[in-house]
Structure formats: structure tokens, C-alpha cells
Chains A and B, each alone.
Chain A
Amino acid sequence: MSFACVLVLSTFTACDKNIELEPETALDGTAGFKTKQDVDAALIGCYSALQSANYMGLRYWALGDMYADILAHTGTFPSFAQVANRSILADNVELRNMWQQIYIAINRANNVIASAPGVTDPSFNVNNAIGEARFLRAYNYFNLLAFYGGTPAGYNQAGGLGVPLVTTPTLTAADAAPKPRNTEAEVWALILEDLDFAVQNLVNTNGTGRANKRVANALKARVHLFRGEWTPAENAAGEVITTGGYSLIPGSTYADIYLKKNTAEAIWELQFDVTNANSIAFFYYPTNLGGRNEIASTTGLRDAHEAGDVRQAVNYTTTPAAKTQKYTRVPGDDNVLLIRLAEMYLIRAEAQARSGKLSEAVNDLNTIRTRAGLGMASPATAEEIVAAVEKERRLEFAHEGHRWFDLRRYNKWSTVGITQEYRALWPIPQREVETSAGIITQNPGY
């Protein structure tokens, strides 16, 4: 007790102790992470960053689906209304928080990447840890690029805009100096480099809800699809389909993909439980069921289903009205499916169609259609196949945040009523432009 310094006048050190205090509920962060336990925990922290309601815990995919044609805004947040009205301003708080959260996730990954080599504990798999962190970093940059980068015509086009690349941890104020935006190509290069390292170094099984070699391959398939690299996309997706050990959940129990957790179809499922919960169902559900009625399924989504499509009941519920069976747990323990097997089929279908393997493409397309309780489709041309794939993707991944990026990839964003071309890219948060004194430039038009 520091008051000893008054009562026991001879011990002067007690007085200094009164004002030289150490935090008890946090660690000193001056030198970053050091031990195996530290780095293991730091890696967990990287996943925790994904869980944020500003990121995969809701807004990343929900706002994307709202900007597209999956979700309607039924609530009170003016910042959501801007997204729903496709009139986003550069100071929109939701976009700002999302951008911030993704860079928080990147900084956490960078901390692991920088600290792991210093751990000398022989029981520590350094390369697996770095591989996991680099996978997550790639995923985070990919997510940034998807909203804020590219060109109105899509991704991997000439002159595509990127985001600032930060690849070392921020430990001091000097580390936090603004860095200018890199080109889209430079961001893709880092993503691919990180993913290749992850594929090479990650173990095959790494615990539920965490990255492993197969997950890294699946993300690679998605990355190549976005880049229009059809053969690598087909190969990566094919490898996951054939060697991953996953299987599609039967159409008769389609809702189980979401109502149950970590099914055979899940490649990477973000884990939530009641003590580490999200507010997704709370945002969907009406007030009498304990929600805040902020978002709902669009009638357009409902009407896009063919008769007999088992997905309609999941994508657009009747009780409660206009919600989804994908998120039903108001206490917040719904998992979020980040990558699942159906996507690999549809990636491979699209990639094969684009590279002339039409019958293989139709096969993959019909795998998804028949599972959904629909009849075989027989599109004849590559274009028809891609159009069919687009439709299946909209229905298959409704409420999972793929739709807006598909509209960008296909350069079809005008179909949701956007007339101003610049709105295909979301604005860089105005605060970022201001704080960096213009070093970080705004996307054109905003």
C-alpha cells in the first residue's frame, strides 16, 4: 500500500510506487509479442478482428447485399439508409468503421508475421503461424479491394485503384505515418504472394473455424476468379472439390447449412457462440422477437427464385416476414459462412465456361441446381452459362455478401439502379483522406 510512505517515513521508495503503476488488465505493448503463448494468442486476436460487427460479424456482407439487391433497409440508421439508397457519402460512418476494422485486422496479422520468427520454442510451428497470419492478411486485403478498389469496369483492369499496403506492425507513433494507396496490381501481388506462402506452409487441419491449406486454396480460387484467371481458378476450386473432403448438404435439409454448425459443406465458417456473440439476427429480427428490425430480404430476391427452389424458404422467410433462415439466433451465436463448397462448384463452372469447357461447366452448374431442387439447365453458350451461374450465385449466396462483387465483376452494377459510374467503388473514408493530408487519395467522384 502506497500510504506506507506517509506512515513509515523512512521508506521513500514507497512514495515513488504510488505514481509508478503498472496496468493489471493489459500487457505492456512497447515491444510487441514475444513468447509462443503471446503469438498464439495474437493469432486468435486476428480471427477475433474478423468477428467485429463492422466486418464479418454483420456489416461487411450485409451492407454489400444492401447496396446490391438482396437486402432492404427497414430500420432507423441514417448511415444504413445511405447505402440502401445508393447515395453513400464519403463520411458514412459504417464504411469508415469497416475500413478501420479491416486495417485493425491487418495490423494484428502483421504483428504475428513480425513476431513469430522470434519465438524459439521448439514446439512452435513458426511457418504454420506465419502462414495463417499471411492467409488472413491476404483475406483482409482482398476484402478491402473488393469494395474500395478496382475500376467501375471491374477488377484486374488497367488503371485499377488499390489501397495502402501496410506489411509491418505499428508499434510506435512513427510507424503510424500515412502511406499512399498502392495500385490494384500491387495489392493483388501481395495477396497472391501471401496465399502461395499459406498454401505451402499451412497444415491440413488447424482447428475449427481456422485457416488451413484447403481454406487457403479455396480463397485462391476466389481471388483468381476475381482476376479473371480462369485456369488457376478452375484448378484451385477443383482441388478443393476433389481433395478437400467436403460434401454438399442435401437439398432436403438445405437450411441445415445454417441451422447446424460446421457442416460438411463449410470450408471456412466464422465461429460465434453465446459468450462471443454477434448481433446479426438482432439486426434482422422484428422487435417482438427481440430484434431491431434494421434489415430485411427484398421482395426482388424472393421473386428471383424458380418454383420449387428449396433456397427460397431460407432466403426469404414468411414468419417472421422477409427475414432469412441463415441467421436465426437472437442471442448471437449464428456462425457466418465465409467460404463453402457450393462456391467452389460455381467458381469452377464459371471458370470452365470462360475457358471453353462448356459441358464440365454445365455439370457443375447443375450440381448446384439439382441440390436446390431444380431441374437440369442446359445453357448452350459460355455467356449463357455465366448468366446461369450469376443467377445461381445470387440465390445461393444471398445474405452472404457475394452479390455486389458479382455485379462488379460482371460490370452489371447499373442493374440495381446506380446511374453514377463512380458509385461502383465505395468512397475511401473522408477521415482517412483528411488525416493523411491527402496522401491517401479519394476515389474519383466522391
Chain B
Amino acid sequence: MAQNYWQVILFRVLFFFIIQSVTSMKKLLFGLALMLVSAGAVFAQRNVTGKVSDQKGEPLIGATILVEGTSVGTVVDPDGSFTLRVPANGNTLVVSYTGFITQRLALGNANDYNIVLEADVISFADVVVVGYGTRSKKELTGSVSKVSAEAISKLPVTGLDQALQGQAPGVQVTAASGTPGASVSVRVRGPSSITAGSQPLYVIDGVPINIGSFSQLGFGGQQDNALSNINPADIESIEVLKDAAAASIYGSRASNGVVLITTKRGKQQKTEVSLNAYYGTQEVWRTLEPLTGPEYGALVNEARAARSLSALFPDPTTLPSTNWQDEIFRSAPIQSTDLSFSGGSDRTKFYVSGSYFNQDGSIIGSTFNRMSVRVNLDNLVSDRFKIGTSTAFSNANSSRINNDNNIFGVLSTAVLLGSHIPVYNADGTYARDPNSSVENPVAAANEPTNDIQQGRLLSSVFGELELAPWLSFRSDLSLDYLNVREFRFSPTTTNAGAGVRGQGIEAYSRDINVINENYFSIRKSFGENHSFDAVLGVSFQHNNQETFFAQGENYPGNTIQTLNAASIKKDATSNRTEWGLNSYFTRLNYSYAQKYLISASVRADGSSRFGANNRFGIFPAVSAAWRISEEGFLSDSELISDLKLRASWGIRGNQNIANFASRALIAAGANYNQLAGLAPTQLGNPDLTWEQREDLDIALEIGLFKDRLNFVIEAYQGTTNELLLGRPLVFTSGFATINENIGSIKNTGIDLGINSVNVESSNFSWTTNFNLSFFKNEVLKLAGAPFAAGFASWVEEGYALGSFRGYEVVGIFQTQDEITALDNAAKESTGNANAVYQSSLTRPGDIQFRDLDGDGVITSSDQKILGHANPKFYGGLTNNLSFYGFDLSLFFQFSYGNLVYNNTKAFAEGMNSVFGQLATVRDRWTAENTDTDIPRAVWADPNNNRRVSDRFLEDASYLRLKNVTLGYNLPSSLLQQLRLSKLRVYVSGQNLLTFTEYSGFDPEVSTFGETNTAPGTDFLTFPQSRTILFGLNVAF
């Protein structure tokens, strides 16, 4: 009831202001019309000319000059000069340029002026976007990291999430694979959930958008990524809200942090045309050497002989040799072109862009391309009423291939198909191994059609009304409309299509996300020292998702692939689901003399996803900062220019679960013999509610030498309680789980950031940015027993999420006596005459696993936690240098102490059956080669040598030269002749150097995509590429 009462009051207030604004708008329009009429009057005029430059003397092209009190104005030409006809009543010029202090210049008798603008101390770089507003960096009481357009533009990335890697402390970004357009795991201060998703909330120009995959088809572990729809070139800045103080204004979706994306907007300047293009090629940076065909045949025969089985290959020396990796890896082009126009007058500003991005994957069969357009407009309807829009449409097409744990995968089969099979048979058909389950890799890449097309409209319109100098009201109406169409055809030339004579799938998904947000912003000072600002608002969001899926089989051939040709309509299904969120939020900031800052915010969210008894959640946060540098004793310090101590506390939520997870459900589709059936599928829990992450954050910010050297060090502790977990039920109930709020997980860590301007002179500058993050994750409480995930991952109380569990290798048995001794001991300790230590078929050359529980036999209880996938620390180091016209950027990114379970190796060094094997098994144990850690070859692996053990767990620490870019800017003298304002050419390389001990394709890998429970698993995953590209930036 209390909430309803609240709503009523809020709406009354809103309603009042909307009526008020409409009335005042009418008045303003009338005034505007009067002004236009009067502007027709003729006055005596004179010409004023001049130049506008910065303190270094560089012309400020596009700076605007207005005659105060009139609508007369101009912008500065590319050569830095201007000419203006000043009316007789004009006596002051207002000269402004973004990032500089606006100058008011009284006109004397002179007609020529040299105007020098001073850089704004709190310039754009110092303003950060926060939820529902902006703040100067110095006033922040919460933890916000900013990534600028410049840092993003250097990387040839598909999605903006990849651009965050190594850029901000506390933000761990792991590209799950090198699949073009695929998912990226972003963890802000550790994974804070087990089942409900750990990806941050993405907000583009104020609109919380949908992320993740809307694909209905499986391709192995790699999911599609809706963020790849957004053109990174349109991004002005990205702010990551990391602590509760910064993020909890986004309430129930903020527990994993919030990424605020601001796109570029027009400025008051002459229209600037900007063209950016690059072209490059990508290649995997590492391949793994396989056995040759004859070696493979000999190995299989040897393994079979070890069990007295007949040889599979009578004469292995005659077998052909195919290096499947050579057949599927390629040098693939990547290119991007974007063109933008931006500019505007004092009343209307625009940014219009179009872009085309095209990437072929470094594995055959995979491509991604995206076309996008954007229009960002701002208009002052009156001096007090501003409207605008941010509208982008993108269309992304991708051709996908299977990978990971998939017998139809391309890399999967390239590793696991023996090299004794040729690509083609003599008759031109694809060759396959009759003893194996896996597809021919080349057929898997080239034969099936796997298209996905995503069209996305992301548009918002807003109106902002200044009700008083200290009070404004803003309303946004936004639409995120995503349309995904998928088409798959598996022809009869593939294993998947052979038995069913062609298989086709058409799948559509549509997701409509509508958001309306309305809020008041208040900014007011009392006296010299007290200043307040506040936000008060409501937000409504409704999301509607529909899917359609149809599958047909039995085609007349492979030419017609649409479903009309399928004679068996195998499946047709559709689905509709929705969720809604009603939110009420407020925030109050108070500053005393810019010295003592406090902030408090609260958001109430009501979500359709939760139980009727617990639908609303309240998410408060408080924070405070003390700017010690403003105290008298430091105000004259030459050394310390800024010193701030801040701390915050707050609660954030996570609602990232299925739409009707709290409801008891009876599902359709339990059909039999063409009759429709129903079956109960989910038990209800009306008490289901939010996950809640409670954070404490304390930070020290230091600026030295007039802020040329900046440090920030932060420590945090975040505990997520009420985790949304499926509490395991006994299967005898007919259900596996019930959704409950049980469990908690803790993240603690230290984030360190250093920004340094090492050298700054007119012809040489050098800046360094460094960030380093340490974190520790621990599962405090679970809903039930520990559980396994992925291949080797394990979730257990007291251990980190992402832990690995398995057996421990002691070594290789060298003699039968060693085995017999252990077997005898096993018989004795168990009192069972049949008992053996490991297996009755254990022989010399097999691995001895450690009897951890000491009962004399190896059982499943001899497993232990072997480590985890989380790094001890990770970070990035960027050096930007410029020397005359040259600029050089070196970006290193690193991760230390993280383990990867190399399941690829478990199969490709497993020697248990017909799978293709890596050359490393040449060193396998034999009676002659005993000094090795690779066991003997034995058919079907009776000792289970390839069980999950520390044998396949590897240190995947790496240091990577993620990007190096060398550019050259044409000098302004030449530019003027060319009538350009900028011309830069550059060459750039990605992943040029990787330092790692990891033996797989790539240490940065996650077979299970953005998983919470099984990170750091490598199983036949598309690796990262090394890219070299050439680019061009032109502006005029």
C-alpha cells in the first residue's frame, strides 16, 4: 500500500510539471516568433576579423564566435581565422570551444583580434557520466572508471565490451574465443552470482539495453553477442560504475556493475567530416603440431596391441598425412570504414554516421559483417526546452561454424580427426574416418549454411525542460528493438544432413524493450560553501520477447534450402515471454566548500520476475569523500595537487533469471502419438526475490605535480547474498530443483590505477596508463551439496567460483611390481580379495593417481580442489607517445596466476581411441622411453589415465602485446593546403607478442562462453588471432 501511495504522489507531481511545461513552451514559442520578426530590422554593421587559437598557438578550428545579445555568429575556418559582420548594437563577442573556457571579449575600435582560449581546468576529460547525470571527476564519491573514445578507437574490435579489456582497474574482460562477433566475459570486481548472470548492465545514452545471445541454435560453447550490434566508432566514452555508490542507482540490475556508454554528439562548430578506415589480415598466432598419418596409424596399432586387439592399420607407413589445422586456418581479412558528419549551430547540433565492418574469421567458414547508421540530434526548442534523439540502426550478418564440444565443429574435428584421413576421397567426396564419430573439418566448415542476421534499432528521444535555473525535468522514451533471424541448412554432404536427407532450420527472435524514464535534476548552492544536487525520478521498462522456430528434413537435393522444399516438417514452435520493471529512484549529493562531499541514493525496483510476496526491492547506497587537498595545509603544496579519500557502502541487486522463475508451471509439448500432452515442469516459490550484493569500498586518489601524475587505489569487499539458486531436490519428487534465494558469495580486492603524463612539450609527449587488479572470490554458502560444472570445474563452499577438482598424478608406473604391491595393499586395507589399487588392467606406463583419502584404493573420493581459474592479478599497461607528427601506442595486457583446464589435451593426448593426436604423444611411455610424463598408449584407456587430473591443468598466465599502433599525422601546414583538418595514417598490430607457458592454442579462452561456474576451460575453442592492419583517419 505504501508503494502505491508513493506512486500517486509522484505522478501528481509529474503531471503538474508536464502541464506547466506545455504552458511555458507556448509562451516561449511566442517569444521566439517575436524575436525572429525583430531580427529583420536593419542596423549599421562592420566587419570584424581575427584568429582563435589555444595557448600553444594551434588554431581552434570550429570554435564559435557569437555577438552577444544577437543571433549573429560564425565558426572558425580551417586556417584558424574568422570574419564576422557585427551589427552596430553588438559590442561583445562570445568565443567558445569545447574543452576551453568560454571567453567574452569586449569589442573596441579595432577590427582584428587575436583570441587565445584557455583550456578548461575541468574540461570534458574531467567530467564523467554517472547514472542520470554527469559529475566532475573531482566531486565523485563513488568508483567510476572512464575509457575514452581514443582508447576504444585504437582496437579493431567487433564489440565495445572487448574494448574494455585492460583499460580499467577492477574490470576483467576475457574474450571467450576468437569467433567473430562472439561473447565476451566482463566481470566488474569479480563474479558476483552463480546462476543469475555476472555480466554488467549496459546503458547506452541512458537506455539499459539487452545483451547476451538471442540465438536459438547451438554452435558449441560460443554464444552470439548482442553487443556486437553497436558500432564502437560511435562511442565517445565508456564509464564503468564499479561500487555500490556509483551503481546502485540502477538498483536491481546493478550488482555486476554498470557500463555507461555515451555516443558522440554534435558540437557547435562548422560541420566536421571524419573518415576512418582500416584494413588488415588476421591469422591464428599458434598452431599445434599433430602426428603424421603413419605415426597415427602406428600409435593406434600399438594401443590396440596393448590389449591384445588386432591392428586397425595393416601397414601404417602407407597412410596419407593431412594436417587438418592447415586445412582450416587461414589468413583472413578484417576491414572497417566509418564516415561521420558532426556539427551544428547554437540551437541545433547533430552527429550523423554510417559504418561498415567486415571480418572473416581465421577459421574457414566464419564471417561477420555489420552495417550501422546513427543520428544523434539536439535542438534547443527554446532557451529552456531542449529535445534530442540518439538513434542507431544496425544490421549484422554472420556466418557461423560449430566449435567446442561438438562432433560437427570445425576446429573440434580438425584436432580430433586423425591425420591419416585425406580431405577428399578419390571420387571427390569428403573423406571420413569410419571408426570415428567426428565430421570432416573441411566439410563442417564449407558445407552447412549457418547464417544469423541481427537487425537492431536503438532509439531514444528526450525532452529536457529547465523549470528554474536550479531545477530541470527530463523525460526519455526509448526503444531497443532487436530482430534476429537464423537459417541453417545441413546438406546431404554433411554427417548432420546425410541420414535425414538434408535438414533446414528457420528461427526468428524478436525482442522489444521499451523504457520510459522521467526525472528531475536539482542543482543549487546556498552561500559560498553549500551546494546540493539531486535527482528524483521514475522509470518503467517492459520487455517482450517472441521466438519462432521451424525445422524441416528430407529435401529433394541440396539446391533449394528453404523449408518449402522439406517434405518432413519436423518441428514448428513459437514462444512468447515478457518482463516488466517499475522503478523509483533518487539521489542527493551535498558538497561543503568542495571539500567534504556526501552522497546518498536509493532505488526501489518492482519486477515481474519475482514472487508475489517479494516483488519490490530497495537498493540504498551512501558515500562520502574528503578532498584533503582543499584543506589549508595542502592548498599551497607544489607536490600534491589533489588528494581525496572516499568511502562507500550500498546494496545492489540482480534480477537476471528466467521470466517466470517464481511460478509453478505446467508446460505444453509433452505430446505422444500426435496427441497433445501437458506436464508439470516447475515448482512455484512465491517468496523468490533479488540477489543482493552488499559492498564496502574505500579509496584514495592522489594527484601530483598539477595532476600530471595520478594514482587511485581502491579496496573493496562485496558479498552477494540471497543468491538465486536452484536448490537441488531429490529426483524422486519428479523435479530437479526449486528456485530459491539461498547462498552467498564474496569478492574482495584491490584495484590500482596510475595515469602519468611523463613528458609534455610541443613536439614530444609521453603518457602512461597502468592498472592492476587483485581479487579473491569465495563461495560462502550454497543451496546444497557441492556440484560439478563444465568438464573439471567444481562449486563448493569455501572455495572460489571457477575452482577445478580432480585427481592428483603421482607419476607413471614403471614396473608391474609397483602395481602389484599397491594392489596387494588394497586387498589388505579393504579386506576384499578382488580389490585393486586403480584397475585390474593397470600396467607399467599407466599413471598412478594419489590415494588422497588413504583407503588403499582410488575412488571418486580421491579428488580434491586443484586450483581455480581466477587470476591472482590482471591488468593493462598503455604507453602513448607522440613525437612531431608521429604517434606510437603500446598496449600490454596481462593476467597472472589463472589456471586453464586443457580438455583439448585430454582428448588429443589421451591416446584412448581413434581421436587425432598431437605430436607431443611421440614422447609416450614405452619400455624404451620411460623417462616421460606421458603414459603409454592403450586402447580404451582402462586405467583412465585421461581422467580429470592436474595433468591437464595448466598455468595460463600471460602477458600480451595486445596492441601496438604507429601513426603519422600530416603537419597543419600541409593540411591547410589540402583543406583538411586532420590526416593520419597508421599501422597497427594486435596480439603481436604473447608470453605464456600455456600449451594450448590460446591462454585467453573460455569454452563455456561467459559462464560463472566453469571459466578457464579450453576444449577445441576458436583461438584469438594476430592481426596486422593499416588505417587512415581523415577529417575536414
Chain A residues with a Cβ under 8 A of chain B? 1-3, 5-6, 9, 12, 15, 17-21, 23-30, 32-33, 38, 41-49, 51, 74-76, 81, 85, 87, 89-91, 96, 99-100, 103-104, 106-108, 110-111, 163-164, 166, 169-173, 175-179, 207-210, 271, 273-277, 281-282, 285-294, 330-331, 419-420, 429-432, 434-436, 440
Does B89 reach chain A (CB closer than 8 Å)? no
Known: A163-B732, A440-B732. 9 other contacts (CB 8 A): A9-B14, A20-B608, A23-B663, A45-B679, A96-B731, A166-B732, A210-B673, A290-B495, A432-B732
Does B729 reach chain A (CB closer than 8 Å)? yes
Residues of chain B within 8 A of A207, CB atoms compared: 673
Q: How far is the CB of A327 from chain B (nearest CB, A)?
A: 12
Given contacts A176-B733, A176-B738, contact A12 B8 (CB under 8 A): yes
Q: Are B540 and A290 in contact (CB under 8 A)?
A: no
- Complex CA distance for A136 and B531, rounded to whole angstroms: 75
- Complex CA distance for A207 and B435, rounded to whole angstroms: 42
Residues of chain B within 8 A of A210, CB atoms compared: 673
Q: Are A26 and B667 in contact (CB under 8 A)?
A: yes
- Of A29, A273, A419, which is within 8 A of B684 by CB? A29
Q: Are B731 and A28 in contact (CB under 8 A)?
A: no
Given contacts A170-B735, A331-B500, contact A273 B674 (CB under 8 A): yes
Q: Are B736 and A100 in contact (CB under 8 A)?
A: yes
Q: Are A285 and B499 in contact (CB under 8 A)?
A: yes
Residues of chain B within 8 A of A20, CB atoms compared: 608
Residues of chain A within 8 A of B540, CB atoms compared: 2-3, 5-6, 15, 18
Does B326 reach chain A (CB closer than 8 Å)? no
Residues of chain A within 8 A of B729, CB atoms compared: 173, 176, 435
Given contacts A3-B516, A41-B676, A178-B732, contact A291 B542 (CB under 8 A): no
Question: Which A residue's beta carbon lies closest to that of B575?
Answer: A25
**Mask of B726-766 contacts with A, CB within 8 angstroms, 1/0:** 00111111111010000000000000000000000000000
Q: Are B679 and A434 in contact (CB under 8 A)?
A: no
Q: Are A42 and B678 in contact (CB under 8 A)?
A: yes
Interface size class of B (residues with CB under 8 A): 35 or more
Does B81 reach chain A (CB closer than 8 Å)? no
- Complex CA distance for A335 and B160, rounded to whole angstroms: 51
Q: Are A48 and B670 in contact (CB under 8 A)?
A: yes
Q: Are A99 and B731 in contact (CB under 8 A)?
A: yes
- Of A25, A74, A170, which is within 8 A of B683 by CB? A170
Given contacts A12-B11, A435-B729, contact A27 B568 (CB under 8 A): no
- Complex CA distance for A87 and B670, rounded to whole angstroms: 34
Q: How far is the CB of A179 from chain B (nearest CB, A)?
A: 6
Residues of chain B within 8 A of A287, CB atoms compared: 432-434, 436-439, 495, 498
Does B386 reach chain A (CB closer than 8 Å)? no
- Of B499, B581, B732, which is within 8 A of A164 by CB? B732
Residues of chain B within 8 A of A291, CB atoms compared: 495, 499
Given contacts A27-B665, A435-B784, contact A103 B734 (CB under 8 A): yes
Residues of chain A within 8 A of B435, CB atoms compared: 74, 293
Question: Which B residue's beta carbon lies closest to that of A282?
Answer: B499
Q: Are B670 and A45 in contact (CB under 8 A)?
A: yes
Residues of chain B within 8 A of A48, CB atoms compared: 670-672, 677, 679
Q: Are A44 and B498 in contact (CB under 8 A)?
A: no
Q: 17 A-B pairs, CB-CB below 8 angstroms?
A: A3-B540, A18-B581, A21-B659, A23-B660, A26-B668, A44-B678, A76-B407, A96-B731, A103-B731, A107-B734, A171-B683, A209-B672, A331-B499, A430-B860, A435-B728, A435-B730, A436-B730
Residues of chain B within 8 A of A330, CB atoms compared: 498-500
Residues of chain A within 8 A of B571, CB atoms compared: 275
Residues of chain B within 8 A of A419, CB atoms compared: 834
| Chain B, 592-628, CB within 8 A of any chain A CB | 606-608, 615
Does B497 reach chain A (CB closer than 8 Å)? yes
Residues of chain A within 8 A of B498, CB atoms compared: 287-290, 330
Q: Are B4 and A12 in contact (CB under 8 A)?
A: yes
Residues of chain B within 8 A of A29, CB atoms compared: 663-666, 680-684
- Complex CA distance for A38 and B680, rounded to whole angstroms: 11
Residues of chain B within 8 A of A85, CB atoms compared: 940, 942
Q: Are B496 and A23 in contact (CB under 8 A)?
A: no
Residues of chain B within 8 A of A89, CB atoms compared: 860
Residues of chain B within 8 A of A111, CB atoms compared: 680
Q: Are A176 and B730 in contact (CB under 8 A)?
A: yes
Chain B residues with a Cβ under 8 A of chain A? 4, 7-8, 11, 14-15, 407, 432-439, 495-500, 514, 516, 518, 540, 542, 553-554, 568-571, 575-582, 606-608, 615, 659-660, 663-668, 670-685, 728-736, 738, 784-785, 834, 839, 860, 940, 942
Q: Is the interface of B mostly helix, strand, loop or mixed?
A: mixed
Given contacts A91-B860, A288-B432, contact A178 B665 (CB under 8 A): no
- Complex CA distance for A38 and B677, rounded to whole angstroms: 9
Which of A12, A17, A21, A172 has most B Cβ within 10 Å? A21
- Complex CA distance for A435 and B784, rounded to whole angstroms: 7
Given contacts A44-B672, A276-B671, contact A30 B730 (CB under 8 A): no
Question: Which B residue's beta carbon lies closest to that of A430?
Answer: B860
Residues of chain A within 8 A of B496, CB atoms compared: 290
Q: Which 6 A-B pairs give the minimum distances between C-beta atoms?
A: A290-B499, A107-B734, A330-B499, A44-B677, A176-B733, A45-B670
Q: Are A15 and B738 in contact (CB under 8 A)?
A: no
Which of A24, A99, A282 has most B Cβ within 10 Å? A24
- Of A28, A99, A110, A173, which is within 8 A of B663 by CB? A28
Question: Which B residue's beta carbon lies closest to that of A294?
Answer: B437
Q: Are B733 and A276 in contact (CB under 8 A)?
A: no
- Complex CA distance for A225 and B64, rounded to whole angstroms: 98
- Complex CA distance for A5 and B10, rounded to whole angstroms: 12
Q: How far is the CB of B180 from chain A (nearest CB, A)?
A: 28
Q: Are B733 and A107 in contact (CB under 8 A)?
A: yes
Q: How far is the CB of A183 from chain B (nearest CB, A)?
A: 16
- Complex CA distance for A238 and B496, rounded to whole angstroms: 46
Which of B433, B666, B670, B729 has most A Cβ within 10 Å? B666
Given contacts A3-B542, A29-B684, A108-B734, contact A434 B785 (CB under 8 A): yes
- Complex CA distance for A241 and B8, rounded to whole angstroms: 77
Q: Are B733 and A175 in contact (CB under 8 A)?
A: yes
Q: Are B607 and A19 in contact (CB under 8 A)?
A: yes
Given contacts A18-B580, A432-B731, contact A42 B679 (CB under 8 A): yes
Q: Are B570 and A274 in contact (CB under 8 A)?
A: yes
Given contacts A21-B579, A41-B677, contact A290 B670 (CB under 8 A): no
Q: Are B569 and A275 in contact (CB under 8 A)?
A: yes
Q: Are A289 and B499 in contact (CB under 8 A)?
A: yes
- Complex CA distance for A41 and B540, rounded to whole angstroms: 39
Residues of chain B within 8 A of A23, CB atoms compared: 577, 659-660, 663, 665
Residues of chain B within 8 A of A28, CB atoms compared: 663-666
Question: Which A residue's beta carbon lies closest to that of B580?
Answer: A18
Residues of chain B within 8 A of A281, CB atoms compared: 499
Q: How far is the CB of A264 from chain B (nearest CB, A)?
A: 19
Q: How far is the CB of A342 from chain B (nearest CB, A)?
A: 23
Q: How far is the CB of A154 from chain B (nearest CB, A)?
A: 21
- Complex CA distance for A107 and B497, rounded to whole angstroms: 37
- Of A38, A288, A440, which is within 8 A of B678 by CB? A38
Question: Which B residue's beta carbon lies closest to that of A77?
Answer: B437
Residues of chain B within 8 A of A294, CB atoms compared: 437
- Of A2, A26, A175, A429, which is within 8 A of B731 by CB? A429
- Of A18, A100, A169, A175, which is within 8 A of B542 by CB? A18
- Complex CA distance for A175 and B679, rounded to whole angstroms: 17
Q: How far is the CB of B441 from chain A (nearest CB, A)?
A: 13
- Complex CA distance for A289 and B499, rounded to whole angstroms: 5
Q: How far is the CB of A76 from chain B (nearest CB, A)?
A: 5
Question: Which B residue's beta carbon lies closest to that of A2?
Answer: B542
Q: Are A293 and B437 in contact (CB under 8 A)?
A: yes
Question: Which B residue's beta carbon lies closest to that of A5?
Answer: B540
- Complex CA distance for A85 and B11, rounded to whole angstroms: 70
Residues of chain B within 8 A of A429, CB atoms compared: 731
Which of A9, A17, A19 has most B Cβ within 10 Å? A19
- Of A18, A44, A76, A108, which is within 8 A of B582 by CB? A18
